[in-house]
Amino acid sequence: EISRHNAQHKPQTFWQACQLFWYMNIILQYESNASSLSLGRFDQYMLPFYQTSLTQGEDAAFLKELLESLWVKCNDIVLLRSTSSARYFAGFPTGYTALLGGLTENGRSAVNVLSFLCLDAYQSVQLPQPNLGVRTNALIDTPFLMKTAETIRFGTGIPQIFNDEVVVPAFLNRGVSLEDARDYSVVGCVELSIPGRTYGLHDIAMFNLLKVMEICLHENEGNAALTYEGLLEQIRAKISHYITLMVEGSNICDIGHRDWAPVPLLSSFISDCLEKGRDITDGGARYNFSGVQGIGIANLSDSLHALKGMVFEQQRLSFDELLSVLKANFATPEGEKVRARLINRFEKYGNDIDEVDNISAELLRHYCKEVEKYQNPRGGYFTPGSYTVSAHVPLGSVVGATPDGRFAGEQLADGGLSPMLGQDAQGPTAVLKSVSKLDNTLLSNGTLLNVKFTPATLEGEAGLRKLADFLRAFTQLKLQHIQFNVVNADTLREAQQRPQDYAGLVVRVAGYSAFFVELSKEIQDDIIRRTAHQL
């Protein structure tokens, strides 16, 4: 009956709308085998149908059950990936992302009864999909913030949090209208987009910032006249050079999408495509971006700060002596002592230390400003972001030992803006302050910050209030994104040993959640090693 109605008439009730939504999702999946066919602002466009059903006497408990069923269905789709792609997107993420709350087009709070129901339904399901997020801002009310904190405490990494105070200005900087900017949502993990009006190619490339530094270090072997400022200038120049190559390769891929993989059905749902008579791959959308991620900023700043201190200030080693230790992967007679000093005697990003945080801010700003100079074949601009998905592991595998004490081949810092594993020693608020020193508004393709809490720190009403206060601090400090794991490392180690007993354990990987036992051991170990904070 529902399907017969939807075949000839637009939906009226919540059930009809949910059924039509799922049909269209399946059809679009058939067209493109796509990840990240996201739900957008689900609580906004579905609210009229929900209200109609209530007015017609539908039981609220039944409507919640419908929503729970839809959330379960979101886990039916598994994207077929190549082996190499799966290393960068571990855990079968499909990107059914929906953002809740936020702002209306006139700047008022958009939180409504369906915003609460979406979180309630998720609490009943607790699966990796949908990848729910909550938009926070200065107007968010305490009840919805507490409901958000309550859902986070379940420990699945959902919902993630986005800050309107940063994202809206970020879109305004990219020429998006104020009304459209206030209507933003997310594609896939954390990739910022204007729903129904954008073709963003948000993951067209990843840029390994730490590899650039490694190249510069080796090019200066034997350079007795090298200064720290000279090295910084070389790194900036190399970043600019490799960005030009990245843009060239990305635009070739963009043209390939246009010429060989158009998506006419999807285009029919995107504003301006029908009016222009052009596919979204050919510039039919209102907003056309190409998103590229700068990865490794924490390792880069930690390395440069340690190198500056060890070589140029304290002069404990010459530049060539340090380079020899790095080439040997610290396997020299003095290598382990050198590594211990690099790790323990020099401050690290993520601890609210201006000297090291400012290196991150300056080099990330340079990366962003260089990226945004370039256009794509669709007439839009490249947009910078900083998030890794699970790419920090394979990208780290191609970088040798570095002056932050990292071994050759070891992973980079997770997340994008997260500190390196185990280096955030001053607590979660210090992490927020470090990230706040970066200009988050420049990163209009999205950022990612992982924070891990022990379950005990969030117990009871007091624990929820502490988490809610932490989220308000996140908003006020103007960070763009944050997400949480709430799990004990011992539980994760037990799951590694007895996976059959932990088949339903869901954790946060990067901008998405996944079943822990379905992740590779290297990603599992990464999650275990993340610093567990207390509030």
The residues annotated with a catalytic role in the active site are 189, 191
d(CA 157, CA 515): 11
What single letter denotes the amino acid at residue 378?
Answer: R
**Pure H helices in 33-112:** 42-45, 47-55, 60-73, 83-88
Paired residues of 533 in beta bridges: 453
SS3 215: helix
d(CA 35, CA 93): 8
Answer yes or no: are the C-beta atoms of 514 and 495 closer than 8 Å: no
SS3 533: strand
d(CA 10, CA 1): 14
- Give the Cβ contact number of residue 238 at 10 Å: 17
Which residues fall within 8 angstroms of residue 63, CB to CB, at 6 or more apart? Answer: 14, 50, 53, 54, 117
What single letter denotes the amino acid at residue 321?
Answer: E
- What tokens were used for 5? 């109605």
d(CA 488, CA 335): 33
> What is the total residue count of the chain?
535
Strand locations in 412-531 (E): 450-453, 481-486, 506-508, 513-515
SS3 68: helix
What per-residue string of b and e applies to 470-481 under the rule 16 or more CB within 10 Å gives b? Answer: bbeebbebbbbb
